[in-house]
A and B are shown apart, each in its own frame.
Chain A
Amino acid sequence: MIEVKQPKRIPFIGMLQGMLTVFKHGLQKPVTVQYPEEKENLPDRFKYRIFLSMDDCVGCTLCEQVCPNLTISMQTVERENPRNKRKLYPDVNFGTCTVCRNCEEICPTDAIYLTHVFETARTRNSFTYNPEELEKHEEEVKR
């Protein structure tokens, strides 16, 4: 246990020191990143947009079960895949996705995974990605 004490200060001089500190910061370089023109380097593990490898998906619905807020729902897609007999693939509504990464964690075949892509803003009203769109790059989906 230590007792905290009010630090010593000289009346009025302390305020001038504070003003000087504030003024000195004005001479430093601003830390703002001007987003659309310059982009900060994203950390290696930064994750946002869910991708799906449809060839790997076995339609086990584990991602649907673990998803905490009904972001993922399974959808039937007519597609030849011997490992996915039920033809069930995840369909993701990014409007409710909280990026909890549980789907990536639980996927037994690593078919569903999160990537660096985060610029998913669009004019389209719905944020739902069907399984085919989940496989594509963001630019293709937007088009």
Chain B
Amino acid sequence: MNILNRIQGILSPLGHDLSFAGAYLIETIIALVFAVTVVAGMVYFFRKYMARVQNRIGPNRVGKFGVLQVMADGLKLMQKESIFPDGRDDLPYKIAPIIVFLGLILAFIIVPYSNLYWFGSLTVTHSNVGIILIFAILAIMPIGEIFAGISSNNKYAMLGALRAVAKDISFEVPMMLSILAIIMIASVNTSQPLNLQNIVSVQNIPFGILEPIGLFIFFISMIARASYSPFDMGESDSELVTGDTTEYGGLRFGLFYMGLFGTIFLGSMLVSVLYLGGGSGPYESSLGFIWFLIKTVVLVVISLTVWLSMPRVRIDKFVNFGWKILLPLSFINLVITGIIVLGGIA
């Protein structure tokens, strides 16, 4: 039983075809609303958390405890005039923020959300190649950043885009290798190891315990993917003003901003799905979604603490780190995983 069947059951008087179409639509809308809510919640939570660790109070004027602050900021960004830089490359400049945000939303639809009480499974996409899909989408998002940097006719943005390219190449290879290890270890107990739900369900022992190196590499890759400190070379604010998004304002900037915070949450969700057992936990049959959320929020807090306490890595040092430390580590991780799989420990 999953949420699609539940909605279809409610819509069943419309007939078989219509009810399924309506159910898919409603399910997708629910996922989108979830994504936008999560992003808004992330922005609020980040601002509050940052304020508290810095001995401040944070937003507390708009609404009770400042919960409406994000909405107010969003409205402000919407009202702002769109300023276009002279000499821009028009099409890439305009679609860049959309690519970033679209990639984020698409990724939110693929993540397996596990079960919640009466609703059953909350997962939207039941694909047998979910893990490939999600990393394909994660590979789309940097294209938006690069478009933004190159098209806006600004030297800072250009440098930011170049940095983003160098950064992406150097962490994505180790990231994919650590995913390969996940697939290897998942294939022991399931015939469809590319299916995200299967990966969650075979984690009797969370993969993070079996391959801590993989967890480390993947967590670092997720930090670099969302590009916040220490790996925010692309938009390093004290060197390149704001890097690739320098020339953006108004709602377009808002989309980049939401993309940043959404990616932090997305990265935490992926870590908890792939390495910490996603929705599994005590009482897993009915409370999987809650476990999933708890794991994700803990990871988000860790990510934000990393953000707030680390200085920025220099870009060449990060490239070195990616190719000379993360890549060998991920090979070692593969070997260890092979030993685990062949030895039948999993």
Direct A–B contact present (CB less than 8 angstroms): yes
**A19 engages B56 (CB within 8 Å):** no
**A31 engages B305 (CB within 8 Å):** no
Stretch at the interface among A22-30, A64-72, A128-136: A22-30
**A32 engages B56 (CB within 8 Å):** yes
Q: Which of B54, B56, B302, B309 has the most CB of A within 10 A?
A: B309
Instruction: Out of B52, B57, B305, B310, name the residue touching A34 (CB < 8 Å).
Output: B57
Instruction: Out of A21, A25, A34, name the residue touching B54 (CB < 8 Å).
Output: A25
Q: Verify if B55 is at the interface (C-beta below 8 Å from A).
A: yes
**A23 engages B305 (CB within 8 Å):** yes
Instruction: Out of A18, A30, A31, name the residue touching B309 (CB < 8 Å).
Output: A18
Interface size class of A (residues with CB under 8 A): 10 to 19
Number of interface residues of B (CB under 8 A): 14
The 8 A CB mask of B297-327 against A (1 = contact, 0 = none) is 0000010011011100000000000000000
Q: Verify if A15 is at the interface (C-beta below 8 Å from B).
A: yes
Q: Verify if B49 is at the interface (C-beta below 8 Å from A).
A: yes
B54: chain A residues at CB < 8 Å are 25
Q: Verify if B53 is at the interface (C-beta below 8 Å from A).
A: yes
**B309 engages A32 (CB within 8 Å):** no
**A30 engages B310 (CB within 8 Å):** no
B49: chain A residues at CB < 8 Å are 26
The 8 A CB mask of B26-59 against A (1 = contact, 0 = none) is 0000000000000000000000010111111100
A15: chain B residues at CB < 8 Å are 309-310
Nearest residue, chain A, Cβ from B310: A15
In the bound complex, CA of A30 to CA of B58 (Å): 10
**A31 engages B53 (CB within 8 Å):** no
**B57 engages A23 (CB within 8 Å):** no
**A32 engages B57 (CB within 8 Å):** yes
**B305 engages A30 (CB within 8 Å):** no
**A19 engages B51 (CB within 8 Å):** no
**A19 engages B55 (CB within 8 Å):** no
In the bound complex, CA of A28 to CA of B306 (Å): 19
**B55 engages A28 (CB within 8 Å):** yes
In the bound complex, CA of A15 to CA of B49 (Å): 19
The 8 A CB mask of A35-68 against B (1 = contact, 0 = none) is 0000000000000000000000000000000000
Instruction: Out of B52, B302, B306, B310, name the residue touching A26 (CB < 8 Å).
Output: B52
B308: chain A residues at CB < 8 Å are 22
B306: chain A residues at CB < 8 Å are 19
Tell me the minimal C-beta distance from A30 to chain B in angstroms: 5
B53: chain A residues at CB < 8 Å are 22-23, 25-26
In the bound complex, CA of A18 to CA of B57 (Å): 21
Tell me the minimal C-beta distance from B252 to chain A in angstroms: 32
Tell me the minimal C-beta distance from A31 to chain B in angstroms: 5
Q: Which of A18, A22, A28, A34 has the most CB of B within 10 A?
A: A22
B57: chain A residues at CB < 8 Å are 30, 32, 34
In the bound complex, CA of A112 to CA of B308 (Å): 50
**B55 engages A31 (CB within 8 Å):** yes
Nearest residue, chain A, Cβ from B49: A26
A32: chain B residues at CB < 8 Å are 55-57
In the bound complex, CA of A23 to CA of B306 (Å): 10
A28: chain B residues at CB < 8 Å are 55
In the bound complex, CA of A85 to CA of B49 (Å): 65
Interface residues of A in 61-107 (CB under 8 A from B): none
**B55 engages A22 (CB within 8 Å):** no
In the bound complex, CA of A28 to CA of B53 (Å): 8
Tell me the minimal C-beta distance from B237 to chain A in angstroms: 19
In the bound complex, CA of A34 to CA of B57 (Å): 9
Which of A's residues lie within 8 Å of B, judged by CB?
15, 18-19, 21-23, 25-26, 28, 30-32, 34
Which of B's residues lie within 8 Å of A, judged by CB?
49, 51-57, 302, 305-306, 308-310
Given contact pairs A25-B55, A31-B55, a sample of 8 additional A-B residue pairs in the complex whose CB atoms are under 8 Å apart: A15-B309, A18-B310, A19-B305, A22-B305, A23-B305, A25-B54, A26-B49, A30-B52
- A-B interface, 6 closest residue pairs, ranked by CB to CB distance from nearest: A26-B53, A22-B309, A26-B52, A32-B57, A31-B55, A19-B305
6 contacts between A and B (CB under 8 A): A15-B309, A19-B305, A26-B49, A26-B52, A32-B55, A34-B57
